[in-house]
Amino acid sequence: MVLTGSILVFLLVVLYVLLMPIILFIDTDTNEYYVQVKGLAKASLEPIKIELLRVKLNVLFMTFYFYPLKYKWSKRNKKEQKSFNKQPVKFKKIVRILKSFKVKKMLLKIDTGDPILNVKLYAIFSLLNYSAGNFSVNFKNKNQLALHIENRPIDMIRSFIN
């Protein structure tokens, strides 16, 4: 009875992880950068004055902080591994995996500082606004990127297998 219950709980957790969306969010205007597995974990980059950058990791109800620029990575003696024929991932599989991602929001505001180049980009961005995203060129020396991408692990596995 206990074994059956624990197997059922394990299968429900695996199903939950496979079906929950993974979110990548980048916003340069508000300085929000994070990767999130809905309801399970969230890793965000936070700019701080002392260490320049820290990673805040929320797992369930616990919070951890990491300082990636603080640690010195030591060079370890790597053992020689037996080489075997690794087949490279085919380009078609990479394209299928990239197509499984859903872009929820894409906003790009750009100013190059060169008015002539801005006018050329304005024409290109006006054509892109009909099909994808929200692109704009400003002459106010302000740049912004807001990107919100979602994917589910089951979709990536399906695109990789098929």
62 lies in some domain: yes
38 lies in some domain: yes
Which parts of the chain register pLDDT below 70? 71-85
87 lies in some domain: no
**So what's the pLDDT on residue 118?**
87
Which residue range forms the structural domain that includes residue 51? 20-69+93-161
**So what's the pLDDT on residue 53?**
86
Distance of CA 91 to the CA centre of its chain: 20
10 lies in some domain: no
Among the listed residues 53, 29, 55, 28, the one whose alpha carbon sits nearest the alpha carbon of residue 44:
55
How many whole angstroms separate alpha carbon 155 and alpha carbon 31?
Answer: 29
The answer to whether 129 and 106 are in contact (CB under 8 A) is: no
**So what's the pLDDT on residue 85?**
67
Total domains in the fold of the chain:
1
127 lies in some domain: yes
pLDDT digits (tens, 9 = 90+) for 84-105: 667 787 888 888 989 999 999 8
6 lies in some domain: no
* Largest pairwise CA distance in the chain: 74
